[in-house]
Amino acid sequence: MATTKENIRARVMEMVNTLPSYLEQKLDVLLETNLIDFEKEEDNYILPKEILVALAEDIKFQYRKPYPKRGDAQRIKKLCRAIALGYSYEKL
C-alpha cells in the first residue's frame, strides 16, 4: 500500500521535533569533555559551525539504516540534491 505526502510529512516532523532536546544533550556532553580549549578559541562562529556540522553527522548516524546498501546511498544523494536545488528531474 502506498503512502501519502501527509503521512511522510507527519513522520518526518515527528522526528524533527525530537531533535532540539537530543542536540542540546549531545552539545552539553561535548562541552563538558576536555576536547575544546576555550582559552585558545576565538570568539566567532567558526567553532560553533564546526560543532553543528559534527552534530549533523551524529544525526545522520542515528537515523540511517544500520547496514545501508548502495541504492540507499544513491537515494539519499538524490534527496539531498533535491533539497539543495529545490527540485528534481527524476522520481525516486
- Using an 8 Å Cβ cutoff, are 63 and 11 in contact? no
- Which residue intervals of 1-92 are DSSP H helices? 5-32, 46-63, 70-85
Domain residue spans of the chain:
5-85
- Using an 8 Å Cβ cutoff, are 77 and 45 in contact? no
Per-residue pLDDT tens digits for 19-51: 999 999 999 999 999 999 999 999 999 999 999
- Using an 8 Å Cβ cutoff, are 76 and 48 in contact? no
Q: What is the pTM of this model?
A: 0.84
Asked whether residue 1 carries a pLDDT value surpassing 80, the answer given is no
